[in-house]
Structure 1
Amino acid sequence: MARFIFNMPDVGEGVAEAEIVAWHVKVGDRVEEDQHLVDVMTDKATIDIESPVAGVVTELAGEVGESIAIGAMLLVIETAEESPGGQSGPAEPAADEIAEAGADATSAQESAPAPAPTPTPAPEPAREASAAASAPPPGPAAPASKVLASPAVRQRARDLGIDLAQVKPAADGRIRHADLDAFLLYNAGGGFAPAGAARPDEAVRVIGLRKRIAQNMAAAKRHIPHFTYVEECDVTELEALRAQLNAGRGERPKLTLLPLLIRAICKALPDYPMINARYDDEAGIVTRHGAVHMGMATQTEAGLMVPVIRNAQSLNLWQLAREIARLAEAARTGKATSEELSGSTLTITSLGPLGGIATTPVINRPEVAIIGPNRIIERPMFVPDGLGGERVAKRKLMNVSISCDHRVVDGHDAASFIQAMKRLIESPALIIAD
């Protein structure tokens, strides 16, 4: 028998440590070569670590949520023979030997004669009657007509299905809301608990992706002086164009509003290069990128992820729609690669129908801006009537938010960029024109 010390492997260029997200084995488990041992998370992705040898796990390096340095011990596996890279040590009993010994002990206990049960004396009738007489009654059984309570208390009792005659009143004989609360608490097990009864407290450890999100958001707010600008856009014509394009799409993917908005962003950006940038505040360098690598905030079961649409400025609407669907599915199923989750130069975040009136999104550091389209609503608006006057018409309106790093982007630049984007949105033929 030999001890094989498995150290944390190099999981990516520039990665110094990785966080343990989930163990798939425990001490005493027998593992096979290439068996899935543990999930670890770096700044870029979640990675599956597999066993290089077969044997029995004898030691784990850390708990879920702890970070392990690259090259440090991750776990120890006891192998049947010396393995390359392993280190010899005193042999420990294997898991099957432990189980066998436990089974022998259990068998010995089962074969021993069981002690005879001690007979329980039957209760005497007089004692039963005495116990019943001493038990406290559930409440004073007074006639309902003599119960003193305000109309509000009576109405609440009716709503809750409580008989006021069963409620113990205060010292002055009048039932108050506090008495109803006490009755509900005492009888919670009997079906009287209100629908809004509090759940037990739950302690949830912040680990994995949720921990990374917390760290990144805290760093962004701590280091970046945010400001947010919001503008209202009329998307009536844009939505009409989208419906027309979808009606004749054939085998192509269905268009959401997102590809159209990304296309408008990419068309407006060349005149505002300070928006499509990353700021290395330690080096004091702002890199204004020519290509638009669009980060797309995506909600998953594990938390918020930002897959990246590479060279979004070179894609047409259908290509954007296909890439958005592919990346969103990869993120939600945990199959997005580290390359697909890094390198964005600008991010767009949308909650769709839940978008609210306006948002103040947090910048995806080290980027310097993030754009947040909000929910579409219908409102009456004054529009030209074609005769030199105005008329009232129902229009579809959407607010567009942009949060910027005030160290790099001035308010005038942010406002000018959103106004340029607004002109494209409200004249959607310009979005699809080359």
Structure 2
Amino acid sequence: MGEYVIKLPDVGEGVAEAELVEWQVKVGDLVREDAVLAAVMTDKATVEIPSPVDGEILWLGAEIGDTVAIGSPIVRLKVAGDGNVKAGAPQDIELVAKSNPTPNPSPQGGGGRASAPKADSKSASPSSRHSPRIEDAPATESLSPLRGGVRGGGTAAAGAPRPEGEKPLASPAIRLRAKEAGIDLRQVTGSGPAGRIQHEDIEAFLARGPQLAKVSGLARNETIEDIKVIGLRRKIAEKMTLAKSRIPHITYVEEIDVTALEDLRAALNKEQRSGAERPKLTLLPFLMRAMVKAIADQPNLNALFDDEAGIIHQHGGVHIGIAAQTSSGLVVPVVKHAEARGIWDCAVELNRLAEAARSGTATRDELSGSTITITSLGAMGGVATTPVINHPEVAIIGVNKMMVRPVWDGTQFIPRKMMNLSSSFDHRVIDGWDAAVFVQRIKTLLETPALIFVD
């Protein structure tokens, strides 16, 4: 038997590091060649890391949320044959997380349960607390967490509740199981490292009887769950912070009568052409074409502002980003060259990009390069919103929900399909007057949709 070390491969696109966002394996798992081990994220694109060999997982070199340099070791396997680590060679593999090591937790006095490491400016990431270094363990010994007791010696007092307000250490799967069983995890003694609760601890707690297992419906909940901001959510947070800290926003809200547009859209969706496969039209392709026409009159809205260099990059091509909500967070796939696409072509490309975003297969190129953005929450769009500009763009068009409202036509109130556009602009480069002119032009085109088709 030998050992095989897998390093983070070059994931392309010229990146030097990537963020670990998911582990598909754990220490002790048997994996086959080409099985997915982990997923890393680079600039919103997620890349899966497969195993090049069959083997048993001995060591994982990073925790979810860690930033890992290309070429750093991330997995160690026990394999048949010699592997790629020479026998007797010095084991110099360190944890790849960008942090300093912290001592192993020591047991508390009295109760004997180990306390979690205290964080300070020099504390390690979670990986350095839970993942042992290779040289610390014999090659023949499993590196899985200790079970049946607390690391560092001592045993926890059976059934002793934790102090009020102290958070139990447990994985999401354990928390879900406890919730479904009605168990207060503060009453469960953990046998894992630093008192971490394991599945067998839940089973032992339930075996002691139901009198302690159930939590009354009106029990106080003093728990605080710390959720690490990682992956796409971290990138969204960084992007929004940058946009709001650098861009002075001005938001302009206008009411649009889309009754005629909705009638036209319904008629086009009913139209059938032999041999032609057309997607169902939504409002967005019409809005995209209206924006293209409005930008032709005001090209300064289709621009990127390099605020550090003090340069506005005004683009001829209209590349419209469509803010899309996915299960993992907000992404912005981009319809390139909308100025060269008709209504149906825009709809086809929208559907393709939306599916790629939902499935997580969108490429970096498909998620970058926008010059202006549309954001829409559909039926959840509210009456008005204050969209955040997609930095370094200078404008974003927000679509609010459509509803039937009574509108006075001069003699009576009549029902009309109304919708608000809530649009934000970079006030450093777009004056309020220009913003109003732009939105009013879009309003005219949407309220008289035949104009959208006039060249």
TM-score w.r.t. structure 1 length? 0.71
SS in 2 for 1:431: helix
Q: Report if aligned partners of 1:20, 1:38 keep a CA contact under 8 Å in 2.
A: yes
Q: Report if aligned partners of 1:5, 1:86 keep a CA contact under 8 Å in 2.
A: no
Q: Report if aligned partners of 1:278, 1:345 keep a CA contact under 8 Å in 2.
A: yes
CA distance in 1, matches of 2:53, 2:379: 51
When the two chains are superposed, the root-mean-square deviation of aligned CA atoms in Å is: 2.8
Evaluate the alpha carbon distance shift between residue 192 and residue 89 of structure 1 in structure 2; reply closer, same or farther with a 3 A threshold.
closer
SS in 1 for 2:396: strand
| Cα deviation 1:57-103 (Å, max 9, x = unaligned) | 332221011111223222233444455698945771276x99xxx9x
Evaluate the alpha carbon distance shift between residue 212 and residue 319 of structure 1 in structure 2; reply closer, same or farther with a 3 A threshold.
same
Q: Which ranges of structure 1 fall in alignment gaps of 5 or more residues?
A: 103-188, 385-389
Is 1:208 equivalent to 2:236 in the alignment?
Answer: no
Which residue number in structure 2 is paired with residue 273 of structure 1? 299
CA distance in 2, matches of 1:287, 1:29: 52
User: What are the equivalent positions in structure 2 for 1:118-267 lying under 5 Å apart?
Assistant: 193=218, 201-250=224-273, 251-267=277-293
Is 1:367 equivalent to 2:393 in the alignment?
Answer: yes
Evaluate the alpha carbon distance shift between residue 85 and residue 306 of structure 1 in structure 2; reply closer, same or farther with a 3 A threshold.
farther
Structure 1 residue 200 displacement after superposition: 6.0
> Which moves more between the two structures, 27-36 or 82-91?
82-91
Which residue number in structure 1 is paired with residue 314 of structure 2? 288
SS in 2 for 1:366: coil
User: What are the equivalent positions in structure 2 for 1:27-426 lying under 5 Å apart?
Assistant: 27-82=27-82, 88-89=89-90, 92-93=139-140, 193=218, 201-250=224-273, 251-383=277-409, 390-426=411-447
Evaluate the alpha carbon distance shift between residue 286 and residue 3 of structure 1 in structure 2; reply closer, same or farther with a 3 A threshold.
farther
Evaluate the alpha carbon distance shift between residue 85 and residue 219 of structure 1 in structure 2; reply closer, same or farther with a 3 A threshold.
farther
Structure with more of its chain in helix, by fraction: 1
CA distance in 1, matches of 2:290, 2:232: 31
Which residue number in structure 1 is paired with residue 5 of structure 2? 5
Evaluate the alpha carbon distance shift between residue 28 and residue 392 of structure 1 in structure 2; reply closer, same or farther with a 3 A threshold.
closer
| Cα deviation 1:184-243 (Å, max 9, x = unaligned) | xxxxx798759xx97965443322211211121111111211111111111111111111
CA distance in 2, matches of 1:415, 1:321: 27
Q: How many residues align?
A: 337
Q: Could you tell me which amino acid in structure 1 is paired with residue 69 of structure 2?
A: A
The structure having more radius of gyration, on CA atoms, is 1
CA distance in 2, matches of 1:51, 1:395: 59
Which residue number in structure 2 is paired with residue 186 of structure 1? none
SS in 2 for 1:357: coil
Q: Could you tell me which amino acid in structure 2 is paired with residue 320 of structure 1?
A: C
Q: Report if aligned partners of 2:44, 2:235 keep a CA contact under 8 Å in 1.
A: no
Is 1:23 equivalent to 2:49 in the alignment?
Answer: no
| Cα deviation 1:310-356 (Å, max 9, x = unaligned) | 11121111121122112111111112122211111111011111111
SS in 2 for 1:297: strand
Evaluate the alpha carbon distance shift between residue 85 and residue 400 of structure 1 in structure 2; reply closer, same or farther with a 3 A threshold.
farther
Q: Could you tell me which amino acid in structure 2 is paired with residue 418 of structure 1?
A: V
Q: Report if aligned partners of 1:309, 1:323 keep a CA contact under 8 Å in 2.
A: yes
CA distance in 2, matches of 1:74, 1:192: 44
Evaluate the alpha carbon distance shift between residue 85 and residue 3 of structure 1 in structure 2; reply closer, same or farther with a 3 A threshold.
closer
Q: Report if aligned partners of 1:20, 1:64 keep a CA contact under 8 Å in 2.
A: yes
Q: Which ranges of structure 2 fall in alignment gaps of 5 or more residues?
A: 92-137, 148-213
Structure 1 residue 23 displacement after superposition: 0.9
Q: Report if aligned partners of 1:44, 1:342 keep a CA contact under 8 Å in 2.
A: no
Q: Could you tell me which amino acid in structure 2 is paired with residue 218 of structure 1?
A: T
Q: Could you tell me which amino acid in structure 1 is paired with residue 10 of structure 2?
A: D
Evaluate the alpha carbon distance shift between residue 49 and residue 377 of structure 1 in structure 2; reply closer, same or farther with a 3 A threshold.
same
Q: Report if aligned partners of 1:230, 1:399 keep a CA contact under 8 Å in 2.
A: yes
Structure 1 residue 7 displacement after superposition: 2.4
Evaluate the alpha carbon distance shift between residue 28 and residue 190 of structure 1 in structure 2; reply closer, same or farther with a 3 A threshold.
closer
Evaluate the alpha carbon distance shift between residue 54 and residue 284 of structure 1 in structure 2; reply closer, same or farther with a 3 A threshold.
farther
Which residue number in structure 1 is paired with residue 187 of structure 2? none
Evaluate the alpha carbon distance shift between residue 62 and residue 257 of structure 1 in structure 2; reply closer, same or farther with a 3 A threshold.
same
